[in-house]
Amino acid sequence: MTPHHPDLREFRRTRTRRTSIPRAVGLVLLVGMFGGTLSPLSAQEIRVSGSLDSDESLEIIATRLMLSSAQPWAYEMFTVPADEFELIFEADDPIYLVIRGSEFQLLPLLLEPGIELHLTSGPETGMTITGTGVEGPAYLVREQPQRIWQAAFREGYGALQEAGGEFDMEAYMARADSLLAERNSAVRSAGLSAVYTRVLEAENLANALRLKSYALEHVDAATAEALDAAMLEQAMNMPGGDTLSYAWRYTEELRNLLNARYQNVVRDLGGETSDAGYYYFQKGVLRAPNLRRVLLAGLVDQLLKGDYGEELAAVVEDFRKTEADGLYGAYIEGRAREREAMAPGQMAPEISAATLSGEPINTEDLRGSVVLVTAWGSWCGWSKAELPHLVELQERLAEEDVIFLNLGWETEETGEASWREAIASVGLGGVNVLSDEALRSEWGLVKTPTFILLDRDGRIVTNDPPRPSREDGAALEAALRELLAGGPRSF
C-alpha cells in the first residue's frame, strides 16, 4: 500500500457533530451525525455517505485506476464508523470505491464526479444504495457482469467437455457473440452515463472473449492462433479509448490476448521472446494513452519481481521517459528503487535505530540469525490484516533463532501514538522500530506491507516471501525453517 496519491485531492471539510478521525493517508476525513440538507456538489466532487447497521468500523479504499482486478493500486485508505459517515472527494476523473468490514464487502463502485450516494443497511433490508447517479454504481453491484456470465461459462465449458472435441465451432462462437449482443443491449437500455455504458460493454466483451477462449484447447494450433488473432482484433477495436482502462476484466483479457499474439508473432519470425520484447510490443500496438499506460505499468510492475538486469533496467527507464505521468511514474520509480536496493543475494542495507523500548538496534545485532523484516503501517488495512497472522507465527517460532524486525511506517497524520497503539492492540512481538524517511529510502521501501527475508549472514534471500496470511502462515513458516536448517537461499 502506498501512502501518497497525487490524483485524489484533499477531502473538503464538512460540518459534523462528531470528533473527527485522524487523517489516515494525507486526507481530511470528518465523520459524524449529519442531519439536515446537504450542500450541493460541484462538478468535481463526489459525496458518499452511509448509515450501516454494524457495531464495527469500515475500511474505505478510493483509487483512480486498477492495474489488475485483484490488487487496487495508488489508493487512499481510511477507517470510518459504520453508524454514520460522510465523505466528499474532489476529483476530475472517475474513482473506484471499495467498502468493506467484517459484515460488509461491497463490490467496487465506479463513481463519476458529480455523483452523490447514500448507503444504508439493516438486518431485513440488506444493503440499499440511493442518490443521484445511482443507476451506474447500483447497476455495477446489482448486475455485476461477471456474475451474470457465470451461467454461460458453466454451460459453455460443460458443453465443450461433453463434446470431447467434436463440436460446432462456428455455432459456439456465434452463441458467444449473441450473448454479448444481449448483454450490451441491456446495458444500453439502462439509461447509464457514457462512462458506465462503455465500462460495462468492455466487461461484457471480456467475458465473451473468455467464453470463446474455452474452445481453444479443443482445436488444433493453427485454428487456436487464428481465433486468438480475431479476438485480439475485436478487443483492440472496442470503442471507448481511455475509458476502457476502468474495465478490470477487459484490461486483463486484453493483456492475455496481447501475450498470446506476441508469442505467435515471435515464433513465426523464428525469434526468441523476451520481457523487453513483450513490453515494446504492447507499447507499439496500444493506442489509447492511459489504457496503454495502465497495461505497461502493470507489466513493468510484474517484471520488477524478477531478475533485475540491464534489459529490465532499460525497460524501466523507457517507461519513465515515455509513458509515466505523475501517478504511474512515481509508482514505477519507487518499485525500481525498491528492487535495486533489495535484490536477492546482496547484503541488506545498514540499520541503526531505536526500538519501541528505546534500546538501540544495529546491523550487527541481526547477524547470525534468520531475519524476517516487515514494513507496515497502522493506517494500512492490508498491514492490519497481516499482523494477527504475523503474531501467531512469532509465537510458533518463539524458541527458534529468528528475529522479527518490524519497521513501522507512519504518516504525519498518524504518528508514533498510532504506531504504539497498533503494536499493543495485536500484541506484536519481535523488534519494533518506527522508521523514518531516510531508513525507508535506504531499504528501498515504497509500500506496505512489505516482507523481506534475510539469511544468517545478513544477505537478502527474497523481497517477496509468502505472506503471513497465506495458508495461515504455514508457507512462510516453512521458508523460515528451511533457512534455519541451512536450506535454500532463494525462493
Closest-CA residue to 418 (of 384, 452, 373, 468)? 384
Residue 133 confidence (pLDDT):
77
Q: Give the residue ranges of DSSP H helices in 189-288.
A: 194-213, 221-236, 248-268, 275-285
pLDDT at 14: 31
Q: How high is the pLDDT of residue 140?
A: 78
3-state helix, strand, coil in the chain (%, to 5): 45, 20, 35
pTM over 0.85: no
Residue 361 CB coordination number (10 Å): 17
Look at residues 47, 34, 211, 191 and name the one whose alpha carbon lies nearest to residue 132: 47
474: which DSSP letter?
A: H
Distance CA 462, CA 466 (A): 10
Q: What end-to-end distance do the CA atoms of the chain give, in Å?
A: 23
Instruction: Look at residue 76 in the predicted model and tell me its pLDDT.
Output: 67
Q: Element (H or E) spanning 416, and its range?
A: helix 415-426
Helix 415-426 with 381-396: angle, nearest 10 deg: 40
Count of CB atoms within 10 A of residue 61's CB? Answer: 18
pLDDT at residue 65 in the model: 67
* Torsion (CA) 212, 214, 217, 219 in degrees, nearest 10: -30
C-alpha cell at 31: 465523520
The tens-digit pLDDT sequence of the chain (491 residues) is 333 333 333 333 232 222 222 222 223 333 333 344 466 777 788 888 888 777 777 777 777 765 544 344 445 666 777 778 888 888 888 888 877 766 666 777 888 888 888 888 877 777 788 888 788 887 777 777 888 899 999 998 888 888 876 888 899 999 999 999 999 999 999 888 888 899 999 999 999 999 999 998 888 999 999 999 999 999 999 999 889 988 888 998 999 999 999 999 999 999 999 999 999 999 999 989 888 988 898 888 888 877 777 888 899 889 988 887 656 677 777 778 777 777 788 888 888 889 998 899 988 899 999 999 999 998 887 788 899 999 999 999 999 999 999 999 987 778 899 999 999 999 999 999 999 988 988 887 877 888 999 999 999 998 889 999 888 889 999 999 999 998 765 55
Write down the pLDDT at residue 75.
Answer: 58
Please give the pLDDT value at position 413: 73
Distances (CA, A) of 136 to 44, 133, 140, 179: 17, 6, 6, 21
Cβ neighbours for 455, distance < 8 A, ≥ 6 positions apart = 370, 461, 483, 489
